Structure formats: C-alpha cells, structure tokens
Chains A and B, each alone.
Chain A
C-alpha cells in the first residue's frame, strides 16, 4: 500500500468536503452490506442449497438486492467520489456547503423511504410492499412511497450535478483560458449524460407510475413505461461505470508508478459515452412486441458503437499501467507485469476489475446482438453478464478505490493491507465461479428472476456436467462474494480505530500527453449536450410516438400486480366484476332469446 508522499491530504485541505464524501461513502457501504446479504440469501435459495426465507418473499429479497446495490451503493459512492474529484481538481471548496448538504440529505431521505418500503414487504400485516425489482416498470406496481422515495433521490442527484456545474462556472470565471481538469471533465460529461438519461425515468415515475399507484389514474401503458425505463436503464449502466473509469484513468496510473498515457484520448472517450449511452436502451426490448424491428436494429447499431470508447479505454489504461511498470524497472514483452505493485489491494482490485470487465464486454455483445439475444433473453445468462460489469468492474473498482482514498479522507491508515488483498482476490474468484455458473445455466435455458427455476417433470439438457453441479458452483461463488464483502466492511470499520497520522497525502501526476494536445472543442459542454439530445430525439421520437399512437398514453387497460392500494383496487375490481357479470348475463339473455 502506498504510504503517502508527505503532502497534505484531502481532509487536511477541505475538511467539510471530506466530511461530505465520507457521509456519502457511509450510506453507500451500509447499502452494500445489506445488498450483499440479500445476494447470498438469493444465491443459496434459488439453488436450493439453503433456504432462510419462504419463496413468497423471494421478490422482496431480489428487489432489495437490486435497488440497494445498483441505486444506493453505486450512486452514493459516485456522488462521494465526484465531490472529491471536483474539489480536488478545481482546487477550491464548494460554493455553498449548505447546498451540498441539502442534496446529500435529499438523496439519503429518498433512499431510506424507498428502502424501507421495499423491506416492509417482509411484514405482511403492514400491507405495504414494493416487490417490483430494480426494473420497476408496469404491470408490476409498488406502494406510492417507493416511487416518491425514488423521485426525492433523483432530485437530490440533479442538485448535486448543479452544484458541480456551479463549481465549474466559478472556476472558469477565474481561469477562462485553462482547460477543464480531466477529473472535472469526467464529472461534467457524466452528469450531462445523467440529466438526459433521467428524463425517461422521471416522466415514467411522475406522470405514470406514481399517479397509477396512488389511484389517480386507472391504467398505464406497460410498453410505454418499459420504454421510458430503458431510456434511463441503459445509460445508468454508464453512470455506474464512470466512477470506475475516473479511478482507472486518474488514480490507477499513479498507483502503478506512472502517468496517464493520453489525456486527449480520455476526453474523447467520455464525450463518446455522453453521446452514445442513451440512444441504445431499446436493445433491452428486443423481445417486446409493439416496437418495430427497424427501431431495434438502430438501437443495436448504436450499441455496437459503444464498444469504441470501451476499447479506447482498454488501450489507454493498459498503456498507462505499462508505462508505470517500466518506470519501476519492468522490462520485456510481458516481463513488465512482474514489476507492478500487486501487493497493493487498490491496484490489484482495479486490475482484476478491468479484467472481468473485458469478459463482461464479450457477454454484453451477445446480449446486444438482436438475433443471438433471443437465445439468452430472460435467462440466468443476463445476471451472469451484469455481475461481471456492475458487480465486478464497478463494485470491485469502488472497493479498491476506497482503499486508496481512505487515508486521504480520514488521515488514518488502512487497518490491514493483506486482508484488503485477500478481499479483492476472493471477490474475483467468487465472481468467476458465480458468473460462470450463471452464463452456462442461461445457455441451458434456466430462467432468471425466479425462486424456483426447476420445472416439475422436466430436466434441462446440459452440454456437460449437470445442473446440480452448476447450482453448487453458483452457491459457492455467491458465498465467497459475501465473505469478501464482509472482509471489506470489517477492514474499513477497524481502520476507523487507527490513530490519525500526518503525511498520508497523495498527488496525481499529469498525463504524458496533456490536455493541450487536444482541440479545445472537446471542452465545449453545450455542443456535446446538444448533439446528445439530437441523437436521443432521433432514436426515441418515432418509437415513442408509435407506442402512444398504437395503444394510447395510458394503454389498453389491465390489472396491476401486486395490488398494493387495497381500497382503490378493491373498488376497481368490484366495478369491473359487476360490469363483467352484467355483460355475461346480457349475453346469456341474448342467447336465450335466440333459442326461443
């Protein structure tokens, strides 16, 4: 573990901002612990290895696992990291700490409301539930508090973005000729993407799902809410990923002993993510009827373009790490790998996360291909894929990044470097076992999102081994991941007991090819935001228009599931039942009349 360069730490220079970052990380890690617990319960339950809950509670566990990990853990870590990055790279405190505290409080309140609403699903007597999974589109219906909490959380993230843009404007007024520092550039482009992406989910929640769950409107159009969800649901993947990219681009080269290979290439990558990450969401809907194949084909093409920034990243990050290794005395075609600081959990965690991300990229290409997607759609393959991407590339990088950031934020050393190293290696091994089992099971047709994947009187045919063997493998992998999560949390908790030390500060070196090697147009946020909006309009205007034209804004009708607003639903059901019985009696009467 790096022992520090003797410079002042972030907490020395910006104590209030460091406190904000620590608070955001605290919420993130509480959610991470709970999410990991629900994860291992699922892994053991659906493989029938060990069952702690009745299968009727499975969807409560699944929703809590998804929402706590991919909404609360990732996004709270993101806002903490981005606050650090903005303050550090502009080298100035926040403009108004009250605003900063306000958005953190809003996000926290929203998360607690949504989280508690989900967890109340375990208590039948209360009559409140939100077993709608992370993909919370209709016809699944949650209690209104679930959507209200999400809305408050979302508003919090928007204010956070505005807070960072305000810092940029203030900095820019004092440095009109300077290029935006790379870390701030990542934050600003990511937040522009977030503003565009969340239009879809905000419309879905505020205009359809929340009024529907409150009983203000009777029906919604399920295809419309699904499409609006995926308008947000794919770019959110990059929202999770961008903090990992920020760490790979700006911190990993430093830990490796070198410097970022190319700042201009990094800027191109983040502009491409801003432009391309939103007009692709329909690739999650290849099997949805009601969307023309041509729109799906366009989404597939856009998705394949997204490989470009990922491949550019693979090149730039590996080149930076190789430069670091050679600075440390590494030689040879592959011999430089031996010179890298593998004993440092921050470095090893990020490298293993990057390796897993490559594998996740390959399985993602299968998902994105229209024809081959039919083979794996809604099978266990899909969770296998996203446990490699968000579950490892993102989560493991966040844990590894925390090992590096922790002394900067607290002036305390990490409790144990060997435990940290063991933790990241166990995560890598556990995920390899679990995601391999998931991918193979998916190819055998084993479904996702179910507590009981087996069918009575039916055996899945296997190309090798057996389903029982895959189940054991999945359960072992899931258990190792849970153990790794506990090691991470325990290591941090014990670190808090370490005495404070001075001289733990770290500086980040400039890139080998700096920002002045790139055209200034790359820093033109207005231009890229405008182009991104045009691309989104081109990709979504016609499909959304067609959906509304075909089946209306509020759809052709149909019942929600589960029924959460009891009184309203009973009244609606009784009304429909009466109408249905009346119509049936009229038909019977008509038939009798004909017979007579």
Chain B
C-alpha cells in the first residue's frame, strides 16, 4: 500500500492478470504449431499449462498474504 487514497489493492488485478496470462499461454501452443511446426498434443499441453497457471496464482496469493501481514 502506498497510502494514496485513490489506490485500492484488490484481487481484481490478479483476476485480470491471470486471464491475460492464460490467453498468452494458450496462444503459445498456436505459435509453436504455426510458426515452428511443433505439434504439441492438447491433451498434454492444456492440463500442464493449467497446473502452472494455478500454481502461479496460489504463489501470488501466498506472497500477497505475507506482504499484507508484514505491512
């Protein structure tokens, strides 16, 4: 927190960031396929990508909790 009355830190930014990141990760498979000819099976790619994204989300949440306790 900065003490600026305008600024309210909420999970809104995390949600938007998560969705944008998810779209970027989703598009990466298209880039691999269309530009580099690497056919990554969706059955493998999507569960792994989802697990990584959820892991990042959990880690971010944990870091924020620690930060707010310290703050």
Q: Give Cα distance in the complex from A463 to B22, angstroms.
A: 22
The answer to whether A440 touches B13 (Cβ under 8 A) is no
Q: Give Cα distance in the complex from A429 to B26, angstroms.
A: 10
Contact count A vs B, C-beta below 8 Å: 78
Residue of B nearest to A433 (CB): B26
The answer to whether B6 touches A329 (Cβ under 8 A) is yes
Majority secondary structure, B binding face: helix
The answer to whether A428 touches B39 (Cβ under 8 A) is no
The answer to whether A329 touches B15 (Cβ under 8 A) is no
Residue of A nearest to B34 (CB): A463
Q: Tell me the residues in window 12-68 of chain A with beta carbons closer than 8 Å to chain B beta carbons.
A: none
Q: Give Cα distance in the complex from A391 to B62, angstroms.
A: 37
Residue of A nearest to B37 (CB): A463
The answer to whether A342 touches B19 (Cβ under 8 A) is no
The answer to whether A342 touches B13 (Cβ under 8 A) is yes
Q: Which chain A residues border B68 with CB–CB below 8 Å?
A: none
Pick the contact of B7: A339, A433, A464 (CB < 8 A): A339
Q: Which chain B residues border A361 with CB–CB below 8 Å?
A: none
Q: How large is the interface on B (under 10, 10 to 19, 20 to 34, 35 or more residues)?
A: 20 to 34
Q: Which chain B residues border A340 with CB–CB below 8 Å?
A: 13
Majority secondary structure, A binding face: helix
Q: Which chain A residues border B71 with CB–CB below 8 Å?
A: none
The answer to whether B33 touches A352 (Cβ under 8 A) is no
Taking the nearest CB of chain A, how far is it from the CB of B6, in angstroms? 4
Taking the nearest CB of chain A, how far is it from the CB of B53, in angstroms? 12
Taking the nearest CB of chain A, how far is it from the CB of B34, in angstroms? 6
Residue of A nearest to B2 (CB): A329
Contact with B along A453-476 (1 / 0, CB 8 A): 000000000011100010000000
Residue of B nearest to A351 (CB): B16
Q: Give Cα distance in the complex from A352 to B9, angstroms.
A: 19
A322 at the interface (CB under 8 A from B): no
The answer to whether A443 touches B23 (Cβ under 8 A) is no
A80 at the interface (CB under 8 A from B): no
Q: How large is the interface on A (under 10, 10 to 19, 20 to 34, 35 or more residues)?
A: 20 to 34
The answer to whether B8 touches A469 (Cβ under 8 A) is no
A329-B3, A341-B8, A463-B34 known; A429 and B15 CB under 8 Å?
Answer: no
The answer to whether B34 touches A344 (Cβ under 8 A) is no
Q: Which chain A residues border B63 with CB–CB below 8 Å?
A: none
A-B contacts, 16 listed (Cβ < 8 Å): A327-B6, A329-B4, A337-B13, A338-B13, A339-B7, A340-B13, A348-B16, A352-B16, A421-B12, A421-B15, A429-B19, A432-B27, A463-B34, A464-B32, A464-B40, A465-B39
Contact residues of A with B, CB < 8 Å?
Answer: 257, 327-330, 337-344, 348, 351-352, 355, 421, 425, 428-429, 432-433, 436, 440, 443, 463-465, 469
Contact residues of B with A, CB < 8 Å?
Answer: 2-4, 6-13, 15-17, 19-20, 22-23, 26-27, 29-30, 32-34, 37-40, 42
Known A-B contacts: A338-B9, A343-B12, A463-B34. Give 19 more (CB < 8 A).
A328-B2, A328-B6, A329-B2, A329-B3, A337-B13, A339-B4, A342-B15, A343-B8, A343-B13, A348-B16, A351-B16, A429-B19, A429-B23, A436-B26, A436-B27, A436-B30, A440-B30, A464-B29, A465-B42
